Each structure stands twice: as structure tokens, then as C-alpha cells.
Amino acid sequence: MRTTRSNTSPAEWERRLGAIAEAVGTDFAASVNRIADATARPDPFRVLVSTLISLRTRDEVTFAASDRLLSRAPTAADLAALPEQTIAELIYPAGFYRTKAGNLRRIAATLVDNRGGAVPDTLEELTALPGVGRKTANLVLGLGFGIPAICVDVHVHRIPNRLGWIATRTPEQSESALMEVLPREYWIPINQLLVGFGQAVCTPQSPWCSRCPLAGECPRVGVTRSR
């Protein structure tokens, strides 16, 4: 693993990420962020549930499925009381909805039994819950608790590598490398920003380099075909 340009100034990061935000558009909001923003104060339980539903699922499906489930079960105790089959029906057609329904119910029961229904606020405790990996845990820490954490999904792994900000092979390495180079204030919003950018401009296959505000400075590491 190698990080690059670790001496990049805060002003330079602001310029880069500002350009990306402008390209994404201000109305972009990933479904998990929309679910998190739906209550006056951040609710880690809502973030945890919607993030689990979002895995391998399109944003529109995630938002609708999370809304259905959280309307019926707004707390861990409510969720633990629902039959697994009902949870599966409420989150259908989310990907792997049966597996997710089982994990959601087990997580809710664990939270009720061990923590009075509260979601934990450490990476170690979160990743000990069924079906919760680092990606989900970091999103819960960031969006649910406001604790600086970088949620590295496919976009957050791919795009900084293409741009040469980091040089890593795995999402775990990307998380560590980004923590070294990226100012802390961007750790939470970088996920939403790059998810939007990865869907609209720096797409997995054949990115839209002709529309990219960073095209003049991007080494396009690993890009073999672009538009």
C-alpha cells in the first residue's frame, strides 16, 4: 500500500472536492443519507438498518424498503418483535432480502438483550453484530454518531486510486491510506461525494473523463477505456 501527495494542503483538498461536488450536483443524496436526514437528530438505528438494506441494492429500492421497515419498526425493540418473514416482505425487493431479514432481526435482538436497544458507537462493537462489516460500521459511526470515519465502498476505493491520491489494493488499505492524506473534516462526507461522482462521472466501466472537472490533473491509474 502506498499513499501519495500526503503534503496536499487543505485548500487544495477543498478545491478538488469542491469540483467533484459541483459535478455531482447539489441535489444528490444517497439513500442512506436521506434516511439519516429524515429525523431531526441523527438516529444511529435508522442509519444501521438502511445501510444493511443498501448492500448490493439500488438507491431507490433501498430508500423505499428502509422507509417501509422503519415506519413499521422505528426502534430495535419493534424490529426484534417482528417475524423474520414480515421483515423480508417489508424490505423486498432489496438484494438478498431473506439473509438481510435474518441479520436485521438478530441484530435487533442483540441490541435489545445486551444494550437496552441502543446501537454501539465503536467499530469493534459494531462489527461484532451479524452482517456488519467495516463499511457499514463506519457509515453508522459517521452519519449516526458524527464520529469521523471513512466508509470505503467500491467508489471510495476506485476513484482516489484512479486519481493517484492513494495506491492501494483493498478497501481496508484505502481506508487507512485516506485517513493519512485526507483532512478529518472530509472523512464523513467523502462517501456520499464519491458515490455520486462514481455513479455520474467516474463510472466503474469507461468513465466520463471528457466531462470530468479533474481530467487535466488525473493520471487515470488503471483506466483502459474512457468516454
Nearest approach in angstroms of CB 209 to ligand SF4 is 3
Stretch binding ligand SF4 (CB under 6 A), from 7-15, 33-41, 137-145, 214-222: 214-222
Locus of grid cell 442483540: 110
**Given 162, 166, 178, 187, the residue binding ligand SF4 (CB under 6 A):** 162
CA dihedral 72, 57, 53, 97 (to 10 degrees): 80
| Angle subtended by helix axes 97-115 and 84-91, to nearest 10 | 130
Eight-state DSSP code of residue 210? G
**Given 15, 34, 134, 220, the residue binding ligand SF4 (CB under 6 A):** 220
Interaction of residue 212 with ligand SF4, rule CB under 6 A? yes
Interaction of residue 163 with ligand SF4, rule CB under 6 A? yes
For 117: left if phi > 0, alpha if psi spans -120 to 50, otherwise beta; the answer is left
Stretch binding ligand SF4 (CB under 6 A), from 46-54, 56-64, 169-177, 201-209: 201-209
Q: H or E segment at 161?
A: helix 154-162
Closest to ligand SF4 by CB, 95 vs 164, is: 164
Interaction of residue 158 with ligand SF4, rule CB under 6 A? no
Q: What is the 3-state secondary structure (H, E, C) of 42-96?
A: CCHHHHHHHHHHHCCCCHHHHHHHHHHHHHHCCCHHHHHCCCHHHHHHHHCCCCC
Interaction of residue 190 with ligand SF4, rule CB under 6 A? no
Nearest approach in angstroms of CB 22 to ligand SF4 is 13
Closest to ligand SF4 by CB, 140 vs 214, is: 214
Interaction of residue 214 with ligand SF4, rule CB under 6 A? yes
The burial of 226, by beta-carbon neighbours within 10 Å (0-12 exposed, 13-18 middle, 19 or more buried), is given as middle
Query: Residues interacting with ligand SF4, by CB under 6 A?
Result: 162-163, 201-202, 207-209, 212, 214-215, 218, 220, 223, 226
